[in-house]
Structure 1
Amino acid sequence: MRFIQYFARKATIARPMPQLPDDLSPAAKSDRAAARLARAGWTLGATAAVLVVFAALGRVQPLEAALAFVLIGVVTAVAPRRRSFAAPARRAAPAVEAVSPQSLTLLSGLPDPTVVLDRRGVTLAFNAHAQAALPAIRAGDPISFAVRAPEVLEAVKAAAKTRRPQVVAYAERVPVERWIEAHVASAGGADGAPSAIVVAFRDLTEQRRSERMRADFVANASHELRTPLASLLGFVETLQGPAKNDAAAREKFLAIMRAQANRMSRLIDDLLSLSRIELKAHVRPRDVVDVVAVARNVIDALSPLAEERGVEVALLADGPALATGDRDELTRVVENLVENAIKYGDDGKRVEVTIATAGEGVRLAVRDYGPGIAPEHLPRLTERFYRPDVSHSREKGGTGLGLALVKHVLQRHGGQLAIESELGAGATFTVTIPAAVPAPATPALAKAS
């Protein structure tokens, strides 16, 4: 009923249909009547198309849509004339060349990006959501100028030809991967051809990413948790059987079981973090973050691990380095890189973290002086669960997801990751993040004399 009340309010404030004055000639009266019928047909046609789209989307009940259409039709037909015709009679323009105030008001209240086209596919009107989703859209331009998806263009042609609602789904690959569903509906004119075509876009990105996240999580978790779970089950059976009364074996096995349980906990945390990052991959962060402060906090937090392994971590930075990003995710990036350098480069006993602003980006480089990485492994280091040495990685407590997390965070931030390494000479991981754009200076106010 709220939907019906909304349309009732829009109908009561809509511009009334004009009545024909008595002093016009029969030909002028005929032209005025045709113009009035054309405007009424356009309004009712566009309204019907929008209601069909919303009924298809499930945002309004069919009965409410029908009642709203009848209400607008009655008000449009019986509203009295409030102004006279002072100008000479002029033949009305085709109905598709203008959009009535009622339709513009209706479009502005729709929650989804919605575009109204004429029968040729030329853009007549659109709401603010469509302007944000399709920056290239302009009134008077063909819809193909703003929408590059062939599926949508074919659906518009099919709706204009068959006058049947069309639903198509398509994917955008750049700048980030997105999935969109387009609902296309047409409203017929007096001559049988559609007088207007309405296209409503629905963003399915979050829904698709949630589905993929669940599937990936189940697949990855089942694969990686199988080994530690088998180990735990084996130790439990041993402790319940042959080693039931062996105190030394019990202490040894309990220590191994605790390490395996910690590894599973870290693995699940990394999988959940990776899924959350992928879920927000299409949303670019806008906060201003000091990368130097983030690195300093990470180094302080990892100092017990560095002292345990006898590694010195040095921070080399001239001053604050402001970048545009998400503080928690950037902290995870620096933490993964520094922790890897401490764990796998501990032979060199030194890790250097260098931060500098270069051009329009902030560059963070983490260098270790360990054994280095063979060239054949470098292209695959950011793959999930890829390890140059599986046993060595598990011995160090790695999950195989650290660099994959770094890659996905940088993709969301519009950053880059470069890896340089030589066997016996250590490795350098360089991260580049877009620098924060400084706010425009506020002009000083002149003092009154």
Structure 2
Amino acid sequence: YHQGGLTTGAELNRALERVDGEVGRMRLLVEELSLLARLDAGRPLETGEVDLRSLATDVVQDAGVVAPDRAIHLHAPLPVLVTGDRPRLQQVLHNLVGNAIQHTSPGSAIHVAVGRTGSRATIDVVDRGPGIPPEDLARVFDRFWRADPGRGRAHGGSGLGLAIVRAIVHAHHGSVDVRSRAGAGTTVTVTLPVTSPAADTAHVSV
């Protein structure tokens, strides 16, 4: 524009759309880096009682709006209560479900399961996508790392999604594990301490 290369209103509109898109991506990247910096510094999270079944229901419904052509199944037969920061835990599940949608074919179903094993709550996000090569599994939580380096941030994200998942889960004294086989899909399991004793329920396998 400053060099006089945009001579019509249509060209200017297209340029402004691109600028707006880049600003949005930059804002998201700054927010993600800021969150990681706060978590790295050990700053306290908001704490309260969080029902993982309710949280997962909201996330699956949101995903259904964003990707209405995808089959996203939820199995959460009972409430599972943990103590934590609900928006951050919701971000964990949003990132995991979003990853599953992004890295699997449109016809591939995604399964989300919430359960409890003893004193630990579990969340599984399971897809039937191409899987992750064994040599890449150790790097999936690295910051800015992507399985496909040829994908730009416009289509492949910032490369911080799983790093944020791990940081938030660790801040809640939990753990996150990825299991994958080439051609057989990927399962991500988040484990968190439950809030209070309750009747044990078997961990759900999808």
Q: Sort the TM-score into its range (normalised by shorter chain).
A: 0.7 to 0.9
Residue by residue, what CA displacement relative to the aligned partner does 1:141-197 show, whole Å, maximum 9, x if unpaired? xxxxxxxxxxxxxxxxxxxxxxxxxxxxxxxxxxxxxxxxxxxxxxxxxxxxxxxxx
Alignment of 1:331-342 (within 5 A): 331-342=90-101
- The aligned counterpart of 2:157 is 398
Q: CA deviation at 1:254?
A: 3.4
Number of the residue aligned with 2:146 = 387
Q: Quick one: which amino acid aligns to residue 384 of structure 1?
A: R
Q: Which residue of the partner structure matches residue 245 of structure 1?
A: 7
CA contact (8 A) 2:119 2:197 kept: no
One-letter amino acid matched to 1:380: R
Unaligned runs of 5+ in 2: 199-206
Which of 55, 60, 66 is residue 299 of structure 1 equivalent to? Answer: 60
Cα distance in structure 2, aligned partners of 1:255 and 1:301 = 25
1:276 paired residue number: 38
Determine whether 1:263 maps to 2:25. yes
Q: Say if 1:397 and 1:269 are closer, same or farther in 2 by CA, change over 3 A.
A: farther
C-alpha distance in structure 2 between counterparts of 1:393 and 1:425, whole Å: 26
3-state DSSP of counterpart to 1:389: coil
Q: Secondary structure at the match of 2:110?
A: strand
Q: Check conservation: 2:131, 2:186, Cα contact below 8 A.
A: yes
Find the aligned partners of 2:39 and 2:3 in 1 and give their Cα distance. Answer: 44
2:129 pairs with one of 370, 374, 383:
370
Encode CA deviations 1:78-108: one digit per residue, 9 max, x unaligned. Answer: xxxxxxxxxxxxxxxxxxxxxxxxxxxxxxx
Q: State the secondary structure of the residue aligned to 1:280.
A: coil
Is the CA contact 1:285–1:413 (under 8 Å) kept in the aligned structure 2? no
1:290 pairs with 2:31: no
CA offsets, 1:310-331, max 9 Å, x none? 2121111111111232212211
Q: CA RMSD in A?
A: 2.4
SS at match of 1:380: coil
1:355 deviates by: 0.8
1:360: Cα distance to partner?
Answer: 1.3
CA contact under 8 A between 1:306 and 1:313: conserved in structure 2? no
Contact 1:267 1:399 in 2 (8 A): yes
- Per-residue deviation, 1:247: 5.1
| Deviation per residue, 1:47-99 (Å, 9 max, x gap) | xxxxxxxxxxxxxxxxxxxxxxxxxxxxxxxxxxxxxxxxxxxxxxxxxxxxx
3-state SS of the aligned residue for 1:354?
strand
* Aligned residue identity for 1:364: I
Q: Is the 8 A contact 1:365 1:430 kept in 2?
A: yes
| Greater relative contact order (CA < 8 Å, ≥ 6 in sequence) | 2
Q: Quickly say closer, same or farther: Cα 1:287–1:433, change in 2 above 3 A.
A: same
Work out the number of aligned pairs and report it.
198
Aligned: 1:409 with 2:156:
no
Higher helix share: 1
Pick from 320, 343, 354: which aligns with 2:79? 320
CA shift at 1:252, angstroms? 4.0
Using a 3 Å threshold, how does the CA distance of structure 1 residues 431 and 300 change in structure 2: closer, same or farther?
same
Q: Secondary structure of 2:67's match?
A: helix
Kindly state the Cα deviation for residue 271 of structure 1 after the two structures are TM-superposed: 1.3
Q: TM-score, normalised by structure 2?
A: 0.84
Q: Where does residue 204 of structure 2 map in the other structure?
A: none
Letter aligned with residue 87 of structure 2: D
1:435 aligns with 2:194: yes
Q: Distance in 1 between matches of 2:89 and 2:64?
A: 19
TM superposition outliers: structure 1 runs of 4+ over 6 Å: none
What are the within-5 Å matches in structure 2 for residues 29-178 of structure 1?
A: none
Q: Secondary structure at the match of 1:400?
A: coil
Superposition deviation, residue 372 in structure 1: 2.1
Matching residue of 1:424: 183
Contact between 1:311 and 1:346, CA under 8 Å: does it hold in 2?
Answer: no
What whole-Å deviation, never above 9, does each CA across 1:176-232 have from its counterpart, x for those lacking one? xxxxxxxxxxxxxxxxxxxxxxxxxxxxxxxxxxxxxxxxxxxxxxxxxxxxxxxxx
